[in-house]
Amino acid sequence: MGAESRFQGSIVALVTPFKDGSVDKPALKSLVEWHIAEGTHGIVPVGTTGESPTLSHDEHEEVVAETIEAAGGRIPIIAGTGSNNTVEAIRFTQHAAQAGADAALVVVPYYNKPTQDGLYEHFRAVHDSAEIPIILYNVPGRTVADISVETVARLAKLPRIVGIKDATADLTRPSFTRLEAGADFIQLSGEDGTALGFNAHGGVGAISVTANVAPRLCAEFQEATLKGDYARALELQDRLMPLHKALFAESSPAPTKFALSVLGKCSDEVRAPLLTATPACQTLVRDAMTHAGLLNG
């Protein structure tokens, strides 16, 4: 199966469930089973939503390995392996390849603000370190650095850099990237609220936060766009849009973990410096879940 058909649709940016300060492995495995049953098309463990900045190296690698084992090859696993330290990103990417991940999601280095040439060399080094497809991850709202379309196009010439997760919410980006990197370069939205327009501009899916809470609806939404049924997709967008907003009412993934606790999937525990959702945020999330049909009014 080609990369184009493997990495598309609703790909969940999976939370890392905690219990009493440690990774909750039974809850993690249960979440993977739930996503497969609900029709999720792929899973990203230990991305931003997986609280990767506060996981130890051992925990990071453990969550990747546990997710791969739980999925058992039924859907693709795209392991989050990025870092602002190139050596660390190489370590995580090599581990993901050895553990059997289908691809690695590598974020633009954060905090140290590399130049475009620095970004190119970072991703080239990660690419050269392991035999695994790589999906770039551009989220300037968190990293400050913003990888340009031109740099993406340079990187797309490397054989194992197969796509990008674009969390800029700039709907001109997928069109320009399509022109510069080619129609076969995989473009995945990293911003739920604009995923409808993103796919109309040439995207083939989303790495989604909302899919944590509404996996079936998000899968149906993505399938509708990929079939060109934008009328059905718009109906689903109207159901999901308040949830897209509510899950970022406070620092992610606290609202998402609260929603999952309401559904009985895991605790709402997050790691410092994040805090659990406030009562006001909880009300917003519950109202949005009710609007989406996930809770009774």
> Domain of 135: which CATH number?
3.20.20.70
In a domain, 260, yes or no: no
Q: Which one from 110, 120, 165, 257 is the annotated catalytic residue? A: 165
Domain that holds residue 26: 3-238
Residues of the chain where predicted confidence (pLDDT) is lower than 70: 1-5
Residues in the chain: 297
In a domain, 47, yes or no: yes
Q: Where are the alpha helices (DSSP H) in 101-161?
A: 116-129, 140-143, 149-156
In a domain, 288, yes or no: no
Q: Is the sign of the CA dihedral 62, 132, 169, 12 positive or negative? A: negative
- State which H helix or E strand residue 177 sits in: helix 173-181
Count other Cβ atoms within 10 Å, centred on residue 273. 8
137 noted as active-site residue: yes
Task: Measure the CA–CA gap between 7 and 204, rounded to whole angstroms.
Answer: 8
In a domain, 265, yes or no: no
Cα-only R_g, the chain? 18
Count other Cβ atoms within 10 Å, centred on residue 256. 25
In a domain, 244, yes or no: no
Residue 2 pLDDT: 45
Cis peptide before 159 (omega within 30 of 0): no
In a domain, 60, yes or no: yes
Contact by Cβ (8 Å): 236, 211: no
In a domain, 49, yes or no: yes
Residue 5 pLDDT: 64
Residue 6 pLDDT: 87
Q: Which one from 19, 137, 230, 257 is the annotated catalytic residue? A: 137
Q: What is the DSSP string of 224-277?
A: HHHTT-HHHHHHHHHHHHHHHHHTTSSSTTHHHHHHHHHTTSS-----TT--PP
Q: How many CA atoms lie within 13 A of 129 on its CB side?
A: 23
In a domain, 282, yes or no: no
pTM for this prediction:
0.97
Domain count, the chain: 1
